[in-house]
Amino acid sequence: MASSSLSFSPCPSFPSPTSLSSPSPSKSLPFFTTSRSIAVCCSSSSSPFTEWNSLERHQRDQWACVSSSSSSLVCDKANEIALQLPELKRLLEVLRAGRENGGGGGRGPGSVALVGTGPGDPELLTVKAVRAIERADLVLYDRLVSNAVLDLVGPAARLLYVGKTAGYHSRTQEEIHELLLSFAEAGANVVRLKGGDPLVFGRGGEEMDFLQRQGIHVNVIPGITAASGISAELGIPLTHRGVANSVRFLTGHSRNGGTDPLYVAEHAADPDSTLVIYMGLSTLPGLVSKLMNHGLPHETPAVAVERGTTPQQRIVFAELKHLVNEVKLAELVSPTLIIIGEVVALSPLWPLSSEKRLGMCNGAAMH
């Protein structure tokens, strides 16, 4: 087995806290409003998916922070790594000592559980996921893990934020691999919390492959992926007899950071299929243009959902030709899921559903 050690990259320069803070609450609107082909559901609550500079999120990791004279926590990014590194090493020493003395001498290495937490609603967690979270010694969690899910972590466990957002990674993927391996080798029960499902655009496969090659047992606990959780929340069937006979998941991100990874649009422009795009806000204009250029009707129903299944959920319904403009007007931010296809019009929230169903009934009566 390869030996492991904890090491971290030097701290880069970071944007100011205001540049990464949650957006201002939307203007007060009725719960459901319609305008032309658009419907927006809003909440004025702040996002549960806080960034690295959120005090609330860092307060959960207070073991890695220092107290100021006013008893408040000081966890700015400039000294976070320096604070956490010695604390992590001490925690490793305690775990290793416990393994070598008395209670754990003959025990093998610990295990790593890659746990999917779903799109945000803690009630969508599986029983197996809850049990793994409660048993954890160390929890490494992503940006899209909601605070309500973190509340399930036991009081003796350590929490470590390893989230990523556009333009900023609190830990590189290699550092995350190193942390998982180091604590598993020390005999800890390590839980890696990921939003949605670990194996759907979650890089869970990379972590699982790395750990298994080092001889560490990995248990994958699936989560409800955003496509399923959010479509169910809105009453949208991803497939429906006579409307959509398949569903396709795409990511709006390219591995190398390109701005136009959606080269598959030519084959995705299928009116008999449902298209779900994860992390697609930045490339949405290019995607919509390509889909329409390759034959997908301009009137195809679509929806963009920010922070789906949480109390802060915001929804924009629009026909495909209006989708980009309406998403911009609503100022949706990440995480936002996009669903395109005729099944969207089956949602009871679709603003044109009554007219469309009336037209379908009239058409059926004429035949």
Contacts of residue 364, Cβ cutoff 8 Å, sequence gap at least 6: none
Active-site annotation holder among 77, 164, 321, 356 = 164
Whether 279 is a known active-site residue: answer: yes
- Supply 15's token pair: 């944007």
- Compute how many other C-beta atoms are within 10 angstroms of the C-beta atom of residue 129: 23
Active-site annotation holder among 61, 121, 137, 142 = 142
**CA quadruple 115, 116, 121, 126: dihedral, nearest 10:** -70
H-assigned helices in the chain: 17-20, 55-59, 77-100, 127-135, 147-150, 173-185, 204-213, 226-234, 265-268, 284-293, 320-330, 353-366
Whether 164 is a known active-site residue: answer: yes
- Compute how many other C-beta atoms are within 10 angstroms of the C-beta atom of residue 105: 9
Helix (H, G, I), strand (E, B) or coil at 177: helix
Q: How far apart are CA 153 and CA 193, in angstroms?
A: 11
Q: How far apart are CA 17 and CA 100, in angstroms?
A: 43
Active-site annotation holder among 137, 194, 208, 279 = 279
Q: How far apart are CA 288 and CA 338, in angstroms?
A: 11
Phi and psi, residue 303, nearest 5°: -150, 145
Identify whether the C-beta of residue 113 lies closer than 8 Å to the C-beta of residue 183: no
Helix (H, G, I), strand (E, B) or coil at 91: helix
Strands 314-319 and 73-74: unpaired
- Supply 357's token pair: 């169903």
Per-residue DSSP letters for 185-218?
HTT-EEEEEESB-TTSSSSHHHHHHHHHHTT-EE
Identify whether the C-beta of residue 253 lies closer than 8 Å to the C-beta of residue 279: yes
Asked if the peptide bond before residue 17 counts as cis, ω within 30 degrees of 0, the response is no
Which residues have a catalytic role annotated? 142, 164, 279
